[in-house]
């Protein structure tokens, strides 16, 4: 499977936070987040392990209540079923991989951008 870069197909999941599934397989799924300054990703948890990479911008990521600001080039890993949230400091782009594949994020894939 290959993903092709496109500015189309982003979905706003909460105000100021847009998501696009950019590739996926049986066991993993990768998304790109576009995050607006001042937006908040509410606290939540899920069964998926989550690994992320800050492409541009910055945000404070809270994992089990402990905050850490991440900048371009920084990465993180959030274990399964651990509560986390994010406060976006400036307009940002992050890429995250989920395992197992997040079935609920398959709907955010733009079929025209993903090919076999």
CB 31 within 8 A of CB 95: yes
Domain boundaries, the chain: 9-96
Cis peptide before 100 (omega within 30 of 0): yes
> Considering the entire predicted model, what is its pTM?
0.91
CATH of 9-96, one of 2.40.110.10, 2.60.120.10, 3.40.190.10, 3.40.50.300: 2.60.120.10
Q: What is the average pLDDT across 80-95?
A: 98
User: What would the two tokens of residue 3 be?
Assistant: 């993903």
Least confident of 17-21, 76-80, 90-94, 106-110: 106-110
């Amino acid at each position: 499977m290959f993903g092709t870069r496109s500015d189309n197909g982003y979905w706003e999941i909460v105000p100021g936070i847009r998501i696009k599934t950019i590739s996926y397989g049986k066991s993993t799924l990768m998304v790109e987040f576009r995050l607006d300054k001042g937006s908040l990703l509410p606290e939540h948890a899920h069964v998926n392990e989550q690994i992320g990479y800050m492409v541009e911008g910055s945000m404070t990521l809270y994992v089990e209540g402990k905050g850490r600001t991440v900048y371009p080039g920084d990465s993180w890993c959030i274990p399964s079923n651990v509560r986390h949230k994010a406060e976006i400091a400036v307009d940002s782009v992050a890429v995250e991989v989920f395992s197992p594949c997040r079935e609920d994020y398959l709907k955010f894939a733009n079929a025209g951008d993903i090919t076999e």
